[in-house]
Amino acid sequence: MKMWKNIRFFSLIFFVLSMVVLAGCGQTAPPASTPTPANPDLILATTTSTQDSGLLDVLIPMFEKKTGYKVKTVAVGTGAALALGQKGEADVLLTHAPSSEQPLVDDKTVVNYQLLMHNDFIIVGPANDPAGVKDAATLEDLFKAISDSKAIFISRGDKSGTDTKEKDLWKKAGINPSGSWYQESGVGMGQTLNIASQKAGYTLTDRATYLANKDNLQLEILREGDSVLLNIYHVMQVNPEKFPQVNKDGAKAFVDFMTSSDTQKTIGEFGKDKYGQALFFPDYGKNVEDLGK
């Protein structure tokens, strides 16, 4: 009888120990908590194309979850975004006008200036192509055809990266556009595309914003692929030595996040599921001279 009690006792002990071991094996590590930065508020000044394309809708939540920063996005033309940086009214910039960015790099208004990604500019317009731009041998001929025919052209007119590129293309064609046919929208790329569609006009746009809005537009791609239509994006911190009030740590965290391998992979995949092609091409670590080759 005593032996039976001992057997039952040790069986019970074994059962309890087994359950403890099994319970321990079944436990998963608690999810990593989101950090709590000392200064969590971060101001990002960026171009409307990153917003209108939907890219920031994917990347900003990823960044906030990983770092604990809360991003206030100011999506304006590149010229306005750079102006915010020049006044120390933004912490980090994401823009696409290298010729306009370079002076801020040279005078150290911005630091940690990094090549991020690219896509391209395209010329879009109505399917019936009243100016006959599809037949243009060169971009210069294309802009001359629009000017000569007085076909409606909708310009951003907001000193954005797209506006800067467009003005440069008119200049190279030897044309100073003016008249009722040349109309400035003064708004972002998505809205400008809507206006061009409503007025059956031409416009210059980045490919990403066009593809993101294509289903709602009566506009077709009429010109693409020219090397000068490359659209290059950089990310940079506003210099804390010039503007002590900026969120130095938050800005650096954002640049580090955008140039990380995981984020670069996300950028390269963005749009493929919906549009059948990437809207942007990741470029961190590359040379500008090699882009588009």
Average pLDDT, integer, range 219-228: 95
Q: Kindly report the pTM of this predicted structure.
A: 0.82
The region, left, alpha or beta by phi > 0 then psi within -120 to 50, assigned to residue 179 is left
What pLDDT was estimated at residue 34? 82
Residue 275 has pLDDT above 80, yes or no: yes
Integer CA distances (angstroms), 235 to 33, 50, 93, 121, 220, in order: 27, 12, 6, 19, 30
H or E segment and range at residue 45: strand 41-47
What pLDDT was estimated at residue 67? 97
What pLDDT was estimated at residue 35? 85
Q: Label residue 154 by pLDDT band (50, 70, 90).
A: very high
Residue 248 has pLDDT above 60, yes or no: yes
Integer CA distances (angstroms), 106 to 73, 146, 239, in order: 25, 37, 12
Domains and CATH numbers, the chain: 41-119+231-285 (3.40.190.10), 120-229 (3.40.190.10)
- Residue position matching structure tokens 């975004």: 81
| Mean pLDDT rounded to a whole number for the chain | 90
* Helix extents (H) in the chain: 2-26, 48-52, 55-67, 78-86, 98-106, 139-149, 161-172, 189-198, 207-213, 248-258, 261-269, 272-275
In angstroms, the CA 92 to CA 84 distance is 10
Instruction: Determine contact, residues 31/187, Cβ cutoff 8 Å.
Output: no
Average pLDDT, integer, range 193-220: 96
| DSSP secondary structure letters along 67-83 | H--EEEEEEE-HHHHHH
Rg (CA), the chain: 27
Instruction: Determine contact, residues 237/251, Cβ cutoff 8 Å.
Output: yes
Signed CA dihedral, 271, 277, 279, 283: sign only: positive
What pLDDT was estimated at residue 170? 98
What pLDDT was estimated at residue 290? 82
Q: Percentage of residues in the chain with pLDDT exceeding 90?
A: 81
pLDDT tens-place string over residues 20-69: 343 444 444 445 678 899 999 999 999 999 999 999 999 999 999 999 99
pLDDT tens-place string over residues 110-135: 999 999 999 999 999 999 999 999 98
The SS3 of residue 112 is: strand
Instruction: Determine contact, residues 283/115, Cβ cutoff 8 Å.
Output: yes
Integer CA distances (angstroms), 188 to 17, 25, 139, 184, 216, in order: 66, 55, 23, 11, 16
Residue 270 Cα to chain centre, angstroms? 10
In angstroms, the CA 169 to CA 223 distance is 13
Residue 80 has pLDDT above 50, yes or no: yes
Instruction: Determine contact, residues 36/250, Cβ cutoff 8 Å.
Output: no
Average pLDDT, integer, range 195-208: 97
Q: Label residue 107 by pLDDT band (50, 70, 90).
A: very high
